[in-house]
Amino acid sequence: MITNLLVANRGEIALRIFRTCRERGVGTVAVYSDADTHALHAEAADAAVRLPGDTPADTYLRVDSVVAAALAAGADAVHPGYGFLSESAEFARAVLDAGLTWIGPSPESIALMGSKVASKRVVAQAGVPVLAELDPDELTDDALPVLVKASAGGGGRGMRVVHRRADLAAAVTAARAEAASAFGDATVFCERYVERGRHIEVQVLADTHGTVWAVGERECSIQRRHQKVIEEAPSGVDEKLRRALFAAAESVCRAVDYVGAGTVEFLVTDDGEFFFLEMNTRLQVEHPVTECVTGLDLVAWQLRIAEGEALPPEPPEARGHAIEARLYAEDPRADWRPGSGTLHRFAVRDVRAEFTVPDRHGIRLDSGVGDGTTVGVHYDPMLAKVIAWGPDRRATARMLAGALEAARLHGLVTNRDLLVAVLRHPAFLAGDTHTDFLDRHAAEVLDAGASEDTVRLSVLAAALADAAHNRARARVLASLPAGWRNVPSAPHTKSYRHGGVEHVVRYTATRSGFVPEDRADVTVESATPERVLLTVGGVRRAFDVCRYPDLVTVDSPQGFVGLTPVPRFGDPAAELAEGSLTAPMPGAVARVAVAVGDEVRAGQPLLWLEAMKMEHRVAAPVDGVVTELAVAPGTQVEQGAVLAVVTPKASPEPTDTTDPADTAKEPA
């Protein structure tokens, strides 16, 4: 019997596992890095052990440190969660060698399926279709496009799509560097890239008594950078294909003597062909959708199987539909750039259950953050998984979109607007979910968000709330409207920046209240520091306003708007030299491709920053010459730090092509 479990992970997955442990009467142990000292998972466990350092390599990826932590805390079992060491055969062996129970498959199964190259060979021998492995050095033009993939790990890291042979070498180099950083293994390979495939995966459970369950399948085709952002269960495949996928997944499990929870992933074409992609020998990020439609607690079954319990003969049938959206601190409009900083406010409306299946249709929330959480640069930028469970697919998508739209997310740019746009997109609702969905519908979903009129009204609401806030703090004449004078005066003005655009609002303070100068169709019903009521074209609308350092947030049923107040007088010291390239986020310089004096073209990569487990390219903004390089590989930089300066090429002087003879003919 397991009595005290260490979770070798962090964030929401650690909290998810703790939830099941509490229900089963199992003690919990957390491990935490210095960056996670005040993280929710470190405070939620019965005991917590510090792993000195900040980076994954120094903390959550240290086999010796994590095993020592388990022994020091008196744990008798270890659950790896997902990511980090969850698919490390070395870690599994070390746990077992220490006399602890390992919650997962055998080290041999992990090692075999952990290599995408080796696993394909085993799976092919079991009669399951696979995409052929291609040697990057022997590719011909006819084989393109191809996908360069890391042999170890997953999550979209170490993947590059190549359409031209000229780009292959750079893609392989970049994939190797990213794979080595994320997984400690730089091995990569190529396979045919199926541009309009669907990513379907089968959840499996296998016990030590020979029973293998194909619990159900999930549709995971809405992806960015080859990483899933929306998953659902069941998928839209027909029953014949579903049964074929289940049979293939069970064959894979039996071929490697699999035990525990896992996922067999397939690429499915429009004509019904399918190919084995990989097997994840762990719990998946998207496991909640399977739990919602089956009623199972997959973590509980992981523990029960580790204790030797047998599965029933057949898994439960699916009921209803579930969709999960991964909420990330990232900006889809800026090439999915991750963000870091303080999450001032985090609240999702009408949550019926956290980390478990709701008692009836509704919203489930699995999150590792809360109000005031600091999101750092060392780990994945996922904030939460918001899951809706409903009677059918369309109703579930509508429910999830509404919950995301109404969520209070203050302090960091997120992908919330994109998720809502996808969930409401006609193609998504029609079941047209291919892996190229975001590429094909980029114009409609990447620019989703509050309308221009909503932004203008939100700016007005922010200015009026700020005026009310200033008046509330006044020591005298606090009952008068802010800025009110007994004689006519010029309108008050305030400026805010939104999406790179500066918005100026003008209003007059009178005895009867505030009067907008530029909106004759708007009447100010009331204005407090936190809430502004405006009547727009005869319709009253409410705007909730919050103020933080250098940020004002406005939430309304029309959409969320985050604003940066513009000071009346700028700071001359903040001006940067023309051509300066600044760090878009905190991180470490992974590679530098240029030197001072090099001529560069607009869009040419100059260097790569490593942050949140991914490499981010910094490119030249114009044709020019590198006149300053402020960093080297390994340099740690803060957001806004100058990385390099590219001096634009001077425009050529206009050439006088006038013929002197022609000039002489001009009349005097």
CATH number at residue 13: 3.40.50.20
Q: In sequence order, what DSSP letters do the residues of 303-366 get, joined into one string?
A: HHHHTTPPPPSSPPPP-SEEEEEEEESEEGGGTTEE--EEE-EEE-TTEEEESS--SSSEEEEE
Structural element, H or E, at residue 32: strand 27-33
pLDDT score at 568: 76
Question: How many domains does the chain fold into?
Answer: 5
**Mean pLDDT over the full length of the chain:** 91
Sheet holding 624-629, edge to edge: 580-582, 642-648, 624-629, 599-600
d(CA 172, CA 167): 9
* Percent above pLDDT 90 for the chain: 71
The predicted-structure confidence for 218-245, as pLDDT tens digits, reads as follows: 999 999 988 999 999 999 999 999 999 9
Taking only the tens place, the pLDDT of each residue in 65-123 is 999 999 999 999 999 999 999 999 999 999 999 999 999 999 999 999 988 888 999 99
Please indicate, yes or no, whether residues 381 and 281 belong to a single structural domain of this protein.
yes
**What is the model's pLDDT at position 533?**
98
Same domain for 415 and 467, yes or no, is no
pLDDT at res. 661: 45
Whether residues 224 and 330 fall in one domain: yes
- In a domain, residue 541? The reply is yes
Same domain? For 403 and 542 the reply is: no
Beta carbons within 10 angstroms of residue 446's beta carbon: 17
Q: H/E/C letters for each residue in 248-293?
A: HHHHHHHHCCCCEEEEEEEEECCCCCEEEEEEECCCCCCHHHHHHH
Does the bond joining 145 to the residue before it have cis omega, within 30 degrees of 0?
yes
* pLDDT single digits (tens) 187-216: 888 888 887 899 999 999 999 999 999 999
Q: How far apart are CA 469 and CA 548, in angstroms?
A: 13
Same domain, residue pair 357 and 423 = yes
- Going by pLDDT thresholds of 50, 70 and 90, the confidence category of residue 509 is confident
**Per the omega criterion (within 30 degrees of 0), is the bond before 234 cis?**
yes
- Phi and psi torsions of 32, nearest 5°: -150, 145
Question: Do 563 and 497 form a contact (C-beta atoms < 8 A)?
Answer: yes
Asked if residue 78 and residue 52 are part of one domain, the reply reads: yes
Is residue 438 domain-shared with residue 476, that is, in the same domain? no
Structural tokens at position 73: 């805390």
Among all chains, which residue has been given the structure tokens 């929870």? 261
472 burial via Cβ count (<10 Å: 0-12, 13-18, 19+): exposed
Cβ(238)–Cβ(344) below 8 Å: no
Crossing angle of helices 393-406 and 416-424, in 10° steps, is: 150
Residue 127 lies in a domain: no
**Which residue is associated with the tokens 């069941």?**
234
Write the pLDDT tens digit of every residue in 445-456. Answer: 998 999 999 999
CATH number at residue 468: 3.30.700.30
pLDDT in tens, 623-639: 999 999 989 998 888 88
Tell whether 297 is covered by a domain: yes
Least confident piece of the model among 184-193, 330-339, 353-362, 524-533: 184-193
pLDDT tier at 336, thresholds 50, 70, 90: very high
Residues 364 and 503 in one domain: no
Q: Are residues 490 and 437 in the same domain?
A: no
Q: Angle at the Cα of 267 (from 266 to 271), degrees rounded to 5?
A: 125
End-of-domain residue from the set 169, 192, 215: 192
492 in any annotated domain:
yes
Q: Please identify, among 565, 598, 623, the residue that sits at the C-terminal boundary of a domain.
A: 565
Percentage of the chain beyond pLDDT 70 is 93
Domain end residue (candidates: 164, 192, 220): 192
Tokens of 176: 């190797």
Place of tokens 């000229």: 166
CATH of the domain at 165: 3.30.1490.20
pLDDT on residue 496: 97
pLDDT, average across residues 388-414: 98
Stated as kind and residue range, the H or E segment containing 455 is helix 452-472
pLDDT top residue among 513 and 383: 383
**Tens of pLDDT, residues 372-398:** 999 998 999 999 999 999 999 999 999
Residue 81 located in a structural domain: yes
- Looking at the structure, tell me whether residues 465 and 602 fall in a common domain: no
Find the domain containing 30 and state its range.
4-103
pLDDT digits (tens, 9 = 90+) for 344-374: 999 999 999 999 999 999 999 999 999 999 9
**Domain for residue 118, yes or no?**
no
